[in-house]
């Protein structure tokens, strides 16, 4: 049987001419050429919007190709074909590539309610994660949220057991993610598992526990647990598998241990002046948030205590998610300058484990603090 006949019999798809891909272009204004030849014409809008240049999108293409080829652990001859030194994908790989494109398109179509990082490394990591999710039919998403600390002048004056602004935003974002993965065009079914975690992480600061629960640590913990139960009720009935818990129940003592490790590294770096950029960011953040930190503590911050603490907490969660056994995984978080500290090992060289140089991808969402 000659090669042309083989291709015809097994419905091998040349992606450059795939009619479904053309329809995807028209539907989403996608600028991907999933045949891996780069972008299809500079004049055509790309799937990532105007924030991403051709080099970034070309890199995303290469990541999709690489991840699909790696994920085909035992490819059949017509899953991946080699032709004059270049790879083409067969039916299974083509559908996977198109599905990744469709997921990106749906994220963009939320109009910013869900958004992507503009950093090349972050975009590449998200591309790899979504491609692995499509190939493995699984995706794990971790979303940290603050407890119900109130708002406005009553912020951090008393803990409640409802949904704070970040929790409401995470619930809305989870519903958008559910719609993003529901009824994908090429028959690939992925039901991401979403865990929204209430950060019951202030139990080691007596001043805060005294302010928000009259010093009653058990009440503080119980309020966070009740909040997580209420969050989970709002997640019921979605296409995705969505749950809620607290940091202490989900992560155990590991989170606090990792947080303290990073706090030590940050203070040591300040003392030795080994990372001038990070040290200056700590100073700047402390100044910018002086009023908010005073509201949380009931006094002025001393020695950058909350600034360092919160950076360390973002770094700790990023490290723990990065080192989790299950894969693929990503973080879902509201927009904040602290986002970059999820990848503090990659960007600043603070490594707790050997894996901390790698990127954990992050999707972000809006928070309406006026509700």
Q: How many CB atoms lie within 10 A of CB 210?
A: 12
Backbone φ/ψ region at 273: left (φ over 0), alpha (ψ -120 to 50), beta: left
Helices (H), 273-359: 276-288, 290-297, 305-322, 344-348
Look at residue 370 in the predicted model and tell me its pLDDT: 64
Both tokens assigned to 81: 């074909």
Higher pLDDT, 260 or 366: 260
Cα separation of 111 and 109, whole Å?
5
pLDDT at 13 over 50: no
pLDDT, tens digit, 9 for 90 and up, residues 167-222: 999 999 999 999 999 998 778 889 999 999 999 999 999 999 999 999 999 999 99
What is the fold of 139-365?
Rossmann fold (3.40.50)
Sorted by where each begins, the domain ranges of the chain are 3-120, 139-365
State the chain's mean pLDDT as an integer.
Answer: 80
- Whether the per-residue pLDDT at 23 is higher than 70: the answer is no
Higher pLDDT, 92 or 226: 226
> What pLDDT is stored for residue 330 in this prediction?
94
- Sequence-ordered list of residues with C-beta below 8 angstroms from that of 119, at least 6 positions apart, any chain: none
Q: Please give the Cα distance from 326 to 84 (Å, whole number).
A: 37
For residue 165, what are the CA distances in angstroms to 87, 162, 290, 297? Answer: 48, 10, 21, 20
pLDDT band at 258 (very low <50, low <70, confident <90, very high): very high
Backbone angles phi, psi at 80, to 5 degrees: -135, 120
DSSP assignment of 91-116: HHHHHHHHHHHHHHHHHHTTTTSEE-
- Band (127; pLDDT cuts 50, 70, 90): confident
Round to whole Å and give the CA distance between 11 and 25: 22
**What is residue 118's predicted lDDT score, i.e. its pLDDT?**
72
Q: How far apart are CA 27 and CA 255, in angstroms?
A: 43
| The total number of residues written for the chain in this structure | 371
The span from the CA of 18 to the CA of 96, in Å, is: 14
Nearest to 289 by CA among 272, 306, 274, 273: 306
Q: Give percent of the chain with pLDDT exceeding 90.
A: 55
**27 pLDDT above the threshold of 80:** no
> Cα–Cα distance between 44 and 371 in angstroms, integer?
40
Higher pLDDT, 35 or 200: 200
For 287, the token pair is 């100044």
Of the candidates 5, 4, 7, the one whose C-alpha atom is nearest the C-alpha of residue 79 is 7
């Amino acid at each position: 049987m000659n090669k042309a006949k083989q291709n015809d019999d097994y419905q091998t798809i040349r992606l450059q001419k795939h009619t479904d891909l053309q329809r995807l272009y028209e539907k989403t204004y996608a600028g991907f050429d999933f045949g891996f030849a780069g972008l299809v014409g500079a004049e055509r809008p790309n799937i990532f919007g105007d924030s991403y240049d051709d080099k970034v999108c070309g890199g995303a293409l290469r990541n999709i190709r690489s991840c699909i080829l790696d994920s085909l652990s035992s490819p059949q001859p017509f899953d991946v074909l080699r032709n004059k030194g270049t790879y083409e994908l067969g039916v299974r790989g083509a559908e996977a590539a198109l599905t990744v494109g469709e997921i990106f398109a749906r994220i963009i179509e939320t109009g910013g309610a869900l958004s992507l990082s503009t950093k090349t490394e972050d975009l590449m990591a998200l591309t790899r994660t979504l491609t692995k999710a499509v190939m493995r039919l699984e995706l794990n998403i971790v979303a940290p949220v603050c407890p119900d600390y109130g708002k406005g002048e009553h912020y951090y004056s008393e803990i409640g057991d409802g949904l704070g602004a970040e929790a409401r935003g995470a619930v809305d974002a989870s519903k958008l993610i559910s719609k993003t993965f529901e009824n994908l065009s090429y028959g690939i079914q992925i039901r991401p598992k979403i865990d929204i975690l209430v950060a019951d992480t202030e139990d080691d600061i007596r001043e805060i526990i005294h302010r928000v629960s009259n010093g009653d640590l058990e009440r503080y913990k119980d309020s966070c647990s009740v909040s997580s139960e209420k969050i989970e009720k709002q997640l019921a009935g979605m296409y995705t598998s969505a749950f809620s818990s607290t940091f202490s129940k989900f992560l155990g003592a590991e989170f606090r241990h990792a947080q303290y490790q990073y706090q030590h590294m940050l203070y040591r770096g300040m003392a030795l002046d080994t990372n001038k950029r990070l040290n200056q960011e700590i100073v700047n953040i402390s100044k910018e948030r002086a009023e908010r930190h005073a509201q949380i503590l009931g006094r002025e911050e001393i020695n950058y205590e909350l600034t360092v603490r919160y950076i360390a907490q973002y770094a700790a969660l990023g490290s723990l998610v990065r080192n989790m056994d299950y894969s693929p995984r990503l973080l879902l978080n509201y927009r904040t300058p602290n986002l970059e500290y999820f990848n503090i090992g990659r960007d600043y060289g603070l490594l707790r484990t050997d894996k901390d140089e790698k990127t954990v991808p992050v999707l972000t969402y809006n928070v309406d603090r006026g509700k």
